[in-house]
Amino acid sequence: MAILDQTDRKILWYLQYDARLTNKEIADKLGKSVTPVYERIRRLEREGFIRRYVALLDRQKVGISLLAYTNVQLKEHSYQMLKAFEKAVVKLEEVMECNHMTGSYDYLLKIGVRDMQEYQDFIINKLSRLANIGTVQSSFVMTEIKHETAFHLD
């Protein structure tokens, strides 16, 4: 793993909170010139520290009023079956996150949909049709207390 110095960490910190900052604005905040900051950002992109730039949307305003965390336990746990599930589940547009977990369940999915009817349709017509699905258990978000996308970098 590449080593990040303090300047790299500060650049990443600024970009996590506002990816629209220009190279000049970041350079000004760091007390550096634009060219070295530009070169560092390009290196951070090349090396995969910065995967992509996105806009964070207000889910309520775009009609995603139901968030579910869905635990999935597979019937069979061979390498091929795990990879087949992963390949299929990432194609489902309702799935916002998919994490392979330890514990009683194999995967934890974060699902974003308009309402309970859409969630039911997702479970019946999409998730349950994937091969090797065993047990599915869901929890629904009542109130989102904290939603953060930035990693703490020290």
Query: What is the chain's pLDDT, residue by residue, as a tens digit (154 residues)?
Result: 678 999 999 999 999 999 999 999 999 999 999 999 999 999 999 999 999 999 999 999 999 999 999 999 999 999 999 999 999 999 999 999 999 999 999 999 999 999 999 999 999 999 999 999 999 999 999 999 999 999 999 7
Judge whether 153 lies within some domain. no
- Do 75 and 41 sit in the same domain of this protein? no
The residue behind tokens 């069979």 is 76
Judge whether 76 lies within some domain. yes
CATH number assigned to the domain comprising residue 78: 3.30.70.920
What is the number of domains present in the chain?
2
What pTM was estimated for this model as a whole?
Answer: 0.89
Could you read off the pLDDT of 51-82 as tens digits, one per residue? 999 999 999 999 999 999 999 999 999 999 99
CATH number assigned to the domain comprising residue 22: 1.10.10.10
Judge whether 11 lies within some domain. yes
Judge whether 114 lies within some domain. yes
| Planar angle of CA 17, 144, 51, nearest 5 degrees | 35
pLDDT at 60: 93
Judge whether 154 lies within some domain. no
pLDDT at 51: 96
Q: What's the domain range around 98?
A: 66-140
pLDDT at 131: 93
